Amino acid sequence: MTQLRPMQASGFAVAAVLAGCSGDGSDIGPDLPKLPAASCKAVVLDDLGRGVTGATVAVAGSAVRTITGRNGRGDFLANPTGRLSISVDGSAAAAVDGDRLATLRFALDVPGTDLPSVFYLPDLPDSASATLTVGTQTGATSVTSTAGAVLTVPAGSSVGLPSGAPAVVLRVGALQAQHLPADLPVAPTGTFVFGRGIFVDPPSLTFTPPVDLDVDDDLGLGAATAQLYHLDPTTGQWSEVATGAASTGARITLAGAVATGGLYAFGAAAAATTVQGRAVGPAGAPLPDVLVVVDQWKTTTGIDGRFAVDGVAATLANGAPRAAVVELFAGATWLPARQGTTVPVSAASTDAGDIMLDTLPAANVRVQQVLRGRADAFRPVRTSSLLGDVALATTGDANGQSLFEDLPTDWFGFQEGRPIDPFGVFYGQGIDFVDQGRRWHDSFHFLFERPWNLGSRRTRVLVTDSIGGGPLKAAIVRGTVPGEGFLGLTEESGALFDDRDMGGRATASLRTARGSEALVYAFSIERPSGDHLELPLRRVLRPPLARFDRHGLVEGNLTGVDPSREHRLRVTRRISPGEWWADVAEGRPLVSSLPVDVDPAVTHGPFRVGVDAVGGNLAATELTTVSTVTTLQRMGLLVDFQPVEGGLVQRDIPLDLAADTTFTVGQALLALPAELVLGDLRLALALEQPSRRAVDVARDLGGNHAANGSDLVFTLPALTGPLAGHRWQTALQGSFPTSGYPASGSIASISARIDLPRPVPPLPGSLTSGSFTFLDFPTVTAPVTGDVVPASGFTVQYSLPPRALYGSIELRSDAVGGADALCWHVIVPPDLNQFTFTRLPAEAVTPLVAGRTYTLTVSAFRAQQVVALAEFPYFDLATLLQSVDEFERGVEQVSRRTIQITTN
């Protein structure tokens, strides 16, 4: 059997000193397991076109199955062909929080390669349900779907269920007409026009005699009649179950229509026509092998991007004009994308013209993380594409392996680092390439040991995506002379070389746009001095079709609850403390999303949530709120839990950890900044595990910290028993409007991290004896709030508080009225007291635009350990600004001063 091979050495680089991989893998580390050469992809969406994660798609009578991922897509890693019976099980899947997706079975012909259809699942909400006793009904029960279909079970009807359960929850869902699955009945002459699908759940339910159905007349029956069709849940074939349905008052009502559960649809005879068109990409190039659905009739585009679909209803059943629904989906080797439109049709052939589908060739990328020749387990891993604006981040598994689905082909890469001590770091950076048409690709992320700062006379300037770490094509500018200093445009490597000091400043800028959203972003480092500089840029990223990561469901109860109190549940994948801190202090959201279907905030006990397929953490809390101050009383944890992907696991969480232990930070309130009010600070709480991973526990707590003289006291669960060996990471945050020159009209804000218990004796490498004091706020003397400054450039005069390791200045203007969002982020050394925003040269896009209102924020960063011990700490941290995050740099506090200005 031909097997996929890992990446070739020609497409990969991890610094100059490391050899790449070739052949079947690396000779200096673990390898990824082999994959079959076969591939067949399936796509599952909900009725609104959102990707469904966690749906199980299986071929009946075989072991061939797959579970859908971040775009609603899965790969069988097999090539089933012929007339197949396919089941799509949505019982443990999710498109949005709280949905309840149906399970369908249908028969279809699979000619080869990929399943020739996108599968849509109806939602079965509680609002369209009723509980029935099994057996003869003593009264009538009606259930109305969200689409207005009414199923009525009259008195005297007998309800049956093969399971023998005494009661059943009857649910009625809906599917848009163009989303009806399988091969619909073909009319002997002309064609059929079909209406919306009605799903009766559970499919095994029986009614004796059959019950009544009443739906909107979306067929335009007039004086004509319709047939009712049923998709048999066992055979997956459509069959006619009733005829002669008439329309009255724009409703189709049919008594004795529904004998069993499953999917139903009304159809009526109509004249047939043909709809044709062409699928094109954003640049106008034709897109081959794109799935096309016109109403319910399916095809794929040819090599020229064209399609033609016969059998489309030319009119409604009464002969009135109608519009056909055309939907395109980029499947197979394309980045998943969906586009729909409506086209007025007639008896003559209709040309829908060019339909643009925003897609690119894509592949799945498997990653093996390697540190010192061994698998680097349970570590953050990230990557991003040069093209297509895709950036991804996750956590590797116990073997240091992870999967990134649907990454655009061409160049992509990563960057990662973590400190060893004040002198060295583990660092890795790589660029890889995937050929178009390839479905799977293996990539290896090596970390090697290097000093924070090498002694080279030249600087390698690397421009990367701020999330994924991959290379970007962007403009690089050196120095501070207005309108001058253009160094060049980075290409596939994202890198350019220059003198070590970059003329006093290094700047990269880039504009990205997607749909109606556009961002101009620049990043500068003032006074760089290193062999390697990282300039991370934010982009407008392409959103996935699905909202959630791969997961399995966990269902249970919070036990020992006090129902009079509040309850919350936080669920994340395995995360690092740095990811938690970036979310809390820097406002960079965790790159992860998991469904919450049953929320204990509402139920005060039962919960049903998704847990990352590689493993994750659940933190349940019981709280009280008095006068807007929320206090943690008790908590319960389920940590490092690996669910059954696409399945459901029962597990209760006892609230057995009481917040009754005090942790004292001595003298922490000495020299408290005048603007800071302790009672207005709110606490974000995380538990740092012995593994150096973090459990996100709670946010916005106000009652678990207090002053005791000059000491700061926290009241939290004890770090004993199951929490022995752990420590608390606390982040106190608050914002304070200020008055008085020079800060009139400004906002002072702070994020202060305190690890508990405090080290006694101090940690090796601490700046001080382990004491903690709040960092003062920066001052900004010019400009001041409300000033008008020239868009050609202006100077910010400021000062950072003592013991700040470094500072940052951010100039940001949100998008207004279709204009680009603008942002310029600058890193400055602690002794600098002014920074001049200059006019960038014409080759570089600039975030400074006349007539815009900007938010100007000056931030100060304090660190207690690691980098702060180096001889030249600012030069060291400026070398690895992205690959080593703020937490790993030892940053424990960020204080900020914010004003608003306008440009002319």
Span 742-789, pLDDT tens digits: 656 899 999 999 999 976 554 444 333 357 899 999 999 999 999 999
- Can you tell me the distance from the alpha carbon of 888 to that of 775, in angstroms, rounded to the nearest whole number? 19
Provide the pLDDT for residue 798: 97
Kind of pairing between the strands at 410-419 and 374-375: unpaired
Q: Nearest to residue 887, comparing CAs of 380, 377, 371?
A: 380
Average pLDDT, the chain: 92
Q: Nearest to residue 364, comparing CAs of 396, 407, 329, 333?
A: 407
Sign of CA dihedral 212, 218, 222, 227: negative
Provide the pLDDT for residue 870: 63
The residue-averaged pLDDT of 350-360 equals 96
Provide the pLDDT for residue 332: 85
CA-based angle 32:34:40, to the nearest 5? 120
Does 671 score more than 90 pLDDT? no
The residue-averaged pLDDT of 557-583 equals 97
| Contact between 182 and 231 (Cβ < 8 Å) | yes
Q: Which two tokens stand for residue 201?
A: 């759940």
Q: Which two tokens stand for residue 170?
A: 């009857």
Provide the pLDDT for residue 398: 96
The 10 Å Cβ neighbour count of residue 77 is 18
Provide the pLDDT for residue 771: 78
The residue-averaged pLDDT of 161-177 equals 96
**One-letter-per-residue 3-state SS of 737-762:** ECCCCCCCCCEEEEEEEEEECCCCCC
Provide the pLDDT for residue 18: 31
Span 608-619, pLDDT tens digits: 999 999 999 999
In angstroms, the Cα distances linking 111 to 79, 83, 363, 478 are 10, 9, 22, 57
Kindly give the residue spans of alpha helices, DSSP state H, lying in 782-891.
Answer: 873-879
Q: Which residue has the tokens 């349940």?
A: 620
Bridge partner list, 821: 519
142, amino acid identity: S
Q: Nearest to residue 389, comparing CAs of 369, 366, 401, 406?
A: 406
- Can you tell me the distance from the alpha carbon of 556 to that of 537, in angstroms, rounded to the nearest whole number? 42
Provide the pLDDT for residue 878: 87
Does 5 score more than 50 pLDDT? no
| Contact between 419 and 889 (Cβ < 8 Å) | yes
Provide the pLDDT for residue 223: 92
- Can you tell me the distance from the alpha carbon of 720 to that of 715, in angstroms, rounded to the nearest whole number? 14
55 backbone dihedrals φ, ψ, rounded to 5°: -80, 135
Provide the pLDDT for residue 740: 61
640 backbone dihedrals φ, ψ, rounded to 5°: 50, 40
Does 829 score more than 70 pLDDT? yes
| DSSP assignments along 206-268, one per residue | EEEEEEEEEEE--S--TT--EEEEEE-TTT--EEEEEEEEEEETTEEEEEEEEEESEEEEEEE
Provide the pLDDT for residue 469: 97
Name, in order, each residue with C-beta under 8 angstroms of 249's C-beta and a sequence gap of 6 or more. Answer: none
Burial class (CB in 10 A: 0-12, 13-18, 19+), 580: buried
Q: Nearest to residue 475, comparing CAs of 512, 425, 522?
A: 522
- Can you tell me the distance from the alpha carbon of 254 to that of 244, in angstroms, rounded to the nearest whole number? 9
Kind of pairing between the strands at 41-46 and 118-121: parallel
- Can you tell me the distance from the alpha carbon of 404 to that of 385, in angstroms, rounded to the nearest whole number? 11
Bridge partner list, 728: 687, 756
| Contact between 355 and 280 (Cβ < 8 Å) | yes
Q: Which residue has the tokens 């480092």?
A: 525
Region for 165 from its dihedrals, namely left if φ exceeds 0, alpha if ψ lies in -120 to 50, beta otherwise: beta
In angstroms, the Cα distances linking 619 to 625, 635, 639, 685, 720 are 19, 7, 8, 11, 17
Reduced to 3 states (helix: H, G, I; strand: E, B; else coil), residue 736 is: strand
The residue-averaged pLDDT of 448-453 equals 90
| Contact between 693 and 574 (Cβ < 8 Å) | yes
Q: In which band, very low, low, confident or very high, does the pLDDT at 869 lie, cut at 50, 70 and 90?
A: low
Provide the pLDDT for residue 1: 28
Q: Is the pTM of this model over 0.85?
A: yes
| Contact between 750 and 584 (Cβ < 8 Å) | no
| DSSP assignments along 161-199, one per residue | -TT--SEEEEEEEEE-GGG--S-----SSSEEEE--EEE
Does 854 score more than 90 pLDDT? yes
Does 15 score more than 60 pLDDT? no
Span 76-126, pLDDT tens digits: 999 999 999 999 999 999 999 999 999 999 999 998 889 999 999 999 999
Q: Which residue has the tokens 């801190």?
A: 581
- Can you tell me the distance from the alpha carbon of 371 to that of 368, in angstroms, rounded to the nearest whole number? 10
| DSSP assignments along 676-713, one per residue | --GGG-EEEEEEE-TTS-EEEEEEEE-SSEEEETTEEE
Provide the pLDDT for residue 457: 84
H-run or E-run covering 106: strand 103-110
587, amino acid identity: G
Q: Which two tokens stand for residue 211?
A: 């019950």
Does 8 score more than 60 pLDDT? no
Percent of the chain clearing pLDDT 90 (strictly above)? 87
The 10 Å Cβ neighbour count of residue 795 is 13
464 backbone dihedrals φ, ψ, rounded to 5°: -135, 165
Peptide bond into 783 cis (omega under 30): yes
Q: In which band, very low, low, confident or very high, does the pLDDT at 543 lie, cut at 50, 70 and 90?
A: very high
- Can you tell me the distance from the alpha carbon of 209 to that of 442, in angstroms, rounded to the nearest whole number? 58
Name, in order, each residue with C-beta under 8 angstroms of 564's C-beta and a sequence gap of 6 or more. Answer: none
The residue-averaged pLDDT of 238-249 equals 94
- Can you tell me the distance from the alpha carbon of 279 to that of 766, in angstroms, rounded to the nearest whole number? 61
The residue-averaged pLDDT of 288-311 equals 96
